[in-house]
């Protein structure tokens, strides 16, 4: 099995080199028959990579510990799903997974375009194969997942996967993230192809709209799942720590979201072509860079994999090469990208979208410099790490600006808004904003920060604009004879981009409002003897007992506490402190009581020698609105992406 996998990788490498050459030739000579050759080579590479990853899955399923990678990440005692998921638990396997997903996307792209875009496809294949080549080279020469252990080191059982990763969410979080990060290779390839071929019209980005939305959706889901897993399993009461690896997945999301918005301007007004190309180039470069950051260990993180110096320099070199190659092509073609259109007024939708883009890029700059600050500071002096406060302080106000634009943007007119149109659109939402602000001040009072007031009030503003839009549209359709429900579905079918987009915004706003609840967070560390009580807000927790956990894969203790709220008994909470024997990995599994209003989150810190127990109790208001908002966000994106039988051409404004 191992030999098959290794052979397939090396074979794929050779075919990829040949295919890349064919693609370049096809692009330069513009010969459709060579384009076909290149496309077919790509499909062959995909088949071999599929066999390779299949053989690695088989090795994990059969616990073939002759492979050092399997021995390092799997164990006989692990359940089958986790044994299979262990494939992406380490560096070599996760790179193979990346390559496999890249091949899936590339094949789909080739097959979907077999009768279209003939002029572009040669270069698209060239770019995709170049990326595949990089990973094939890494997998052959630098980190080989099929490396076998020397016979004298043969192992009868493996080291096992870190038990913290043996959780359902952790099984799919990497898959979601990769489906997101890798997927941006396709729109990137089309953008690069447009530059290389000189076909700079609107074809390249109209073709790639769905190819961009799809990975963007999965990247968004992957980021949210990471936060959810951290909250459920790591037991520190939070879901986002501005950890370098969290930031690595967030950074490409920012220009990708900016891109999704500004292509609308390109479509309507034929402007911002250069800017859009820069955004997609930046997005994909950050996807590669994020992968590099997660693996290289140049910044300390709870996620960091082991690193070798060769790997670090090769990968970083590749990221820089990609960025420079794309920029060079962009510079060479800049004349062809000039647009005759100009921004007519600052009070217009175009200006709003442009500002939206700038804010996203500003947030990106904040996150980028903050994440890499240890590297910068080490080179000029002492290595300094910036904590979460830095990110919150800078990204916070920027997020508020973004929130404001989310409300204004969809309602303001194209080209130039008049005073009358502004009054008509924004009167009611403005009233709603003031009302929300007043409500917030009345409910929260002393703990309110300026940021929180801004976030919740503007959240009310955006929600009001969305409601207004829906009400007006449904009302006008009802006047024409439809029922409200019919009208809603018509909106979702006929104007899916606009009305689906509103749902996405609603989801994002709820996420932000939920996250802002953290200004009201309370936490307490208490030591109690059995029978004693802890108090938090209107909750009461009585410590009942602690018991040893049955020893199977792990041992430890579970404590039981009776939870009361306003003196009504509600639940028994059972936080655990586990120790996984094989891996010597401790874990604090929290016990959480969730309501719409807040979460009560209890962690068993320690059972002390004198029989008392130390607990950390958190109260996290509004946190569940994050997950609810996330679900709405996904639903909205699906609405926008839903295949439409006939696509009407975009109206020129």
Partner 1 sequence: MSKGVQVAGGATIVALLLAWYALANLETGASFSYYKSLAEFQAASQSETGKPVRVHGYVSLGSIQRDVAAREVRFSVQNTPPHQAGAEAGPAMNVIFASLETPDLFKDGAEVVLEGRLRGGEPPAFVADKLLAKCPSKFEGQGPTTADGGARG
> Any contact of residue 168 with partner 1 (CB under 8 A)?
no
CB neighbourhood size of 159 (10 A): 15
> Any contact of residue 347 with partner 1 (CB under 8 A)?
no
**Cβ–Cβ < 8 Å for 288, 318:** yes
Q: In the bound complex, what is the minimum distance in angstroms from residue 42's beta carbon to partner 1?
A: 32
> Any contact of residue 382 with partner 1 (CB under 8 A)?
yes
Q: Rounded distance, CA 458 to CA 505, Å?
A: 12
Q: Rounded distance, CA 103 to CA 120, Å?
A: 19
Options 198-206, 254-262, 466-474, 605-613: segment touching partner 1 (CB under 8 A) = 605-613
Q: Within positions 236 to 275, which residues make up the interface with partner 1, using CB under 8 A?
A: 236
- DSSP letters, 551-580, are -SSEEEEEEEEEEEETTEEEEEE--EEEEE
Selected from 168, 201, 569, 586, the binder of partner 1 by CB under 8 A is 586
CB neighbourhood size of 235 (10 A): 24
Report helix, strand or coil for 67: strand
> Any contact of residue 305 with partner 1 (CB under 8 A)?
yes
> Any contact of residue 383 with partner 1 (CB under 8 A)?
yes
Structure-token pair, residue 31: 């010969």
Selected from 1, 43, 362, 574, the binder of partner 1 by CB under 8 A is 362
Selected from 439, 476, 608, 650, the binder of partner 1 by CB under 8 A is 608
Nearest CA among 2, 4, 34 for reference residue 19: 34
Q: What does the angle CA 287 – CA 293 – CA 294 come to, to the nearest 5 degrees?
A: 95
Residue keyed to tokens 């590669």? 288
Q: In the bound complex, what is the minimum distance in angstroms from residue 251's beta carbon to partner 1?
A: 16
Q: Which is nearer to partner 1, 107 or 266 (CB)?
A: 266
Options 208-216, 389-397, 407-415, 497-505: segment touching partner 1 (CB under 8 A) = 389-397
> Any contact of residue 206 with partner 1 (CB under 8 A)?
no
Selected from 605, 619, 627, 637, the binder of partner 1 by CB under 8 A is 605
Selected from 154, 320, 393, 435, the binder of partner 1 by CB under 8 A is 393
Selected from 527, 555, 593, 628, the binder of partner 1 by CB under 8 A is 527
> Any contact of residue 279 with partner 1 (CB under 8 A)?
no
Across-strand partners of 573?
A: 561
Options 104-112, 199-207, 381-389, 617-625: segment touching partner 1 (CB under 8 A) = 381-389
Give me the phi and psi of 365, to 5 degrees please.
-65, -40
Q: In the bound complex, what is the minimum distance in angstroms from residue 584's beta carbon to partner 1?
A: 6
Selected from 531, 610, 643, 647, the binder of partner 1 by CB under 8 A is 610
Q: Which is nearer to partner 1, 173 or 577 (CB)?
A: 577
Q: Rounded distance, CA 270 to CA 440, Å?
A: 42
Q: Rounded distance, CA 142 to CA 316, Å?
A: 14
Selected from 439, 525, 631, 653, the binder of partner 1 by CB under 8 A is 525
Q: In the 8-state DSSP scheme, what is residue 302? A: T
Options 44-52, 159-167, 221-229, 400-408: segment touching partner 1 (CB under 8 A) = 159-167
Q: To which H or E segment does residue 546 belong?
A: strand 539-548
Q: Which is nearer to partner 1, 161 or 558 (CB)?
A: 161
Q: In the bound complex, what is the minimum distance in angstroms from residue 188's beta carbon to partner 1?
A: 23
Q: In the bound complex, what is the minimum distance in angstroms from residue 167's beta carbon to partner 1?
A: 13
Q: Which is nearer to partner 1, 140 or 162 (CB)?
A: 162
Structure-token pair, residue 407: 């409300």
Report helix, strand or coil for 528: strand
Q: Which is nearer to partner 1, 475 or 524 (CB)?
A: 524
Contacts 24+ apart (CB under 8 A), 91-95: 91/143, 91/295, 91/305, 91/306, 91/311, 92/139, 92/143, 92/144, 92/145, 92/147, 93/56, 93/69, 93/145, 94/174, 94/178, 95/135, 95/138, 95/139, 95/143, 95/145
> Any contact of residue 612 with partner 1 (CB under 8 A)?
yes
Q: Rounded distance, CA 65 to CA 405, Å?
A: 55
Nearest CA among 93, 48, 100, 98 for reference residue 71: 93
Q: Within positions 284 to 303, which residues make up the interface with partner 1, using CB under 8 A?
A: 300-303
Q: In the bound complex, what is the minimum distance in angstroms from residue 384's beta carbon to partner 1?
A: 4
Nearest CA among 585, 505, 573 for reference residue 539: 573
Q: In the bound complex, what is the minimum distance in angstroms from residue 62's beta carbon to partner 1?
A: 22
Nearest CA among 518, 500, 534 for reference residue 637: 500
Options 147-155, 313-321, 440-448, 600-608: segment touching partner 1 (CB under 8 A) = 600-608
Selected from 4, 316, 386, 536, the binder of partner 1 by CB under 8 A is 386
> Any contact of residue 159 with partner 1 (CB under 8 A)?
yes
User: What mask of x and - would describe binding to partner 1 in positions 75 to 114, judged by CB under 8 A?
Assistant: --------------xxx-----------------------
Q: Which is nearer to partner 1, 108 or 394 (CB)?
A: 394
Q: Rounded distance, CA 483 to CA 143, Å?
A: 61
Selected from 110, 616, 619, 625, the binder of partner 1 by CB under 8 A is 616
Give the footprint of partner 1 on this chain (CB under 8 A). 72-73, 89-91, 159, 161-162, 165, 234, 236, 300-306, 358, 362, 365-366, 382-387, 389-390, 393-394, 523, 525, 527, 577, 583-588, 605-606, 608-610, 612, 614, 616
């Amino acid at each position: 099995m191992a030999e098959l996998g290794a052979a397939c990788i090396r074979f794929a490498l050779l075919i990829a080199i040949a295919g890349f050459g064919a693609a370049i030739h096809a692009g330069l000579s513009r010969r459709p028959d060579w384009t076909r050759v290149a496309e077919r080579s790509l499909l062959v590479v995909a088949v071999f990579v599929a066999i390779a990853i299949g053989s690695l899955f088989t090795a994990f399923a059969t616990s073939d510990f002759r492979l050092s990678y399997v021995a390092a990440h799997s164990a006989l005692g692990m359940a089958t799903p986790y044994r299979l998921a262990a494939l992406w638990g380490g560096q070599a396997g996760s790179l193979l997974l990346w390559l496999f997903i890249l091949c899936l996307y590339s094949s789909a792209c080739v097959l979907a375009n077999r009768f279209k875009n003939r002029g572009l496809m040669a270069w698209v294949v060239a770019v995709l194969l170049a990326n595949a080549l990089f990973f094939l080279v890494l997998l052959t020469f630098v980190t080989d997942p099929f490396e076998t252990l020397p016979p004298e080191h043969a192992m009868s059982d493996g080291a096992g996967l870190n038990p913290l990763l043996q959780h359902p969410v952790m099984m799919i979080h990497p898959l979601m993230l990769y489906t997101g990060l890798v997927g941006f290779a396709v729109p990137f390839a089309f953008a690069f192809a447009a530059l290389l071929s000189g076909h700079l019209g609107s074809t390249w980005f109209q073709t790639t709209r769905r190819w961009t939305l799809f990975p963007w959706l999965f990247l968004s889901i992957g980021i949210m799942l990471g936060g959810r897993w951290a909250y459920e399993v790591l037991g520190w009461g939070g879901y986002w720590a501005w950890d370098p690896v969290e930031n690595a997945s967030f950074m490409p999301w920012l220009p990708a979201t900016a891109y999704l918005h500004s292509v609308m301007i390109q479509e309507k007004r034929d402007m911002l072509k250069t800017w859009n190309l820069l955004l997609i180039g930046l997005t994909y470069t950050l996807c590669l860079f994020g992968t590099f950051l997660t693996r290289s260990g140049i910044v300390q993180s709870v996620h960091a994999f082991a690193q070798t110096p060769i790997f670090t320099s090769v990968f970083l070199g590749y990221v820089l090469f990609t960025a420079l190659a794309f920029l060079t092509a962009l510079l060479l073609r800049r004349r062809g990208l000039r647009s005759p259109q100009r921004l007519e007024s600052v009070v217009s939708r175009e200006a709003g979208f442009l500002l939206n883009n700038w804010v996203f890029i500003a947030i990106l700059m904040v996150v980028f410099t903050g994440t890499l600050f240890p590297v910068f500071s080490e080179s000029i002096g002492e290595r300094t790490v910036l904590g979460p406060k830095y990110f919150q302080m800078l990204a916070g106000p920027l997020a508020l600006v973004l929130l404001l634009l989310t409300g204004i943007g969809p309602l303001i007119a194209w080209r130039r808004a008049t005073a009358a149109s502004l009054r008509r659109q924004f009167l009611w939402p403005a009233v709603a904003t003031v009302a929300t602000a007043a409500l917030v001040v009345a409910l929260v009072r002393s703990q309110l920060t300026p940021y929180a007031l801004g976030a919740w009030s503007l959240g009310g503003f955006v929600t009001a604009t969305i409601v207004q839009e829906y009400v007006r549209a449904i009302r006008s359709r009802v006047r024409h004879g439809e029922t409200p429900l019919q009208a809603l579905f018509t909106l979702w079918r006929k104007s899916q981009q606009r009305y689906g987009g509103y749902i996405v915004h609603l989801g994002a706003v709820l996420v932000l409002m939920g996250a802002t609840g953290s200004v009201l967070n309370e936490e307490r560390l208490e030591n109690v003897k059995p029978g004693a009580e802890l108090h938090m807000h209107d909750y009461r927790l009585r410590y009942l007992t602690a018991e040893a956990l049955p020893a199977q894969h792990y041992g430890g203790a579970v404590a039981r506490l009776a939870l009361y709220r306003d003196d009504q008994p509600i639940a028994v909470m059972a936080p655990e402190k586990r120790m996984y024997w094989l891996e010597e990995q401790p874990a604090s599994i929290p016990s959480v009581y969730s309501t719409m209003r807040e979460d009560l989150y209890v962690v068993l810190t320690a059972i002390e020698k004198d029989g008392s127990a130390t607990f950390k109790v958190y109260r996290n208001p509004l946190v569940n609105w994050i997950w609810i908002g996330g679900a709405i966000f996904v639903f909205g994106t699906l609405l926008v992406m839903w295949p439409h039988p006939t696509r009407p051409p975009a109206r020129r404004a």
